[in-house]
Amino acid sequence: MIQTLSTSEAADILKRDEHARWSYQGAYALCEWLEEMETGGPPVEFDYIAIRCEYSEWKTALEAALETGYKPEDDDDADDDSKEEAANDWLNERTTLIRFDGGVIIGSF
C-alpha cells in the first residue's frame, strides 16, 4: 500500500518526531530535497526514523563541520563568512549538505 505525502505533510511528520530536533524550515527543506532525489527515479519510502538517523540539522555549516571532525585552518584574520564557506566546502566534499534559510542539514558520515 502506497500513500503519497505532500511536502508539508512529510515535514509535519518529521517535526512531530519527539526524538529529533528539526525546525519546521529544516524539515521542509529536507523533504523538498528528498522529492528532488526521487524525480526521474524510484519513489522515496518515507521512514521518519531512518531519516532522523541519516540526517541532522545544524544552525551553521561551521557548527556541523566542527562536530564531525573538521579542523579549521588557524586563520585569525578570516571573517565569519569565510569560515562558514570553508566549512561548507569541507562538508560538501564528504556528505550531503542541504542549505536553507536558518541552517543546514547534513547526511551522516
Q: Kindly give, in sequence order, each residue whose CB lies less than 8 Å from that of residue 21, ignoring residues fewer than 6 positions away.
A: 56, 57
Does pTM surpass 0.75? yes
Q: Is the pLDDT of residue 48 over 80?
A: yes
First to last CA, the chain: 32
- Measure the CA–CA gap between 74 and 59, rounded to whole angstroms: 22
Q: Judge whether 39 lies within some domain.
A: yes
pLDDT given for residue 33 in this prediction: 96
pLDDT given for residue 74 in this prediction: 75
The boundaries of the domain holding residue 71 are 7-107
pLDDT given for residue 22 in this prediction: 97
Tens of pLDDT, residue by residue over 6-22, are: 999 999 999 999 999 99
- Number of structural domains (the chain) is 1
Q: Judge whether 30 lies within some domain.
A: yes
- Measure the CA–CA gap between 70 and 53, rounded to whole angstroms: 21
Q: Judge whether 2 lies within some domain.
A: no
Rounded alpha-carbon distances, angstroms, from residue 9 to 14, 30, 34, 100? 9, 12, 13, 18
Helix locations, 1-109, DSSP H: 7-16, 24-38, 48-54, 61-67, 80-94
Tens of pLDDT, residue by residue over 66-104, are: 999 999 887 667 788 999 999 999 999 999 999 999 999
- Measure the CA–CA gap between 23 and 81, rounded to whole angstroms: 23
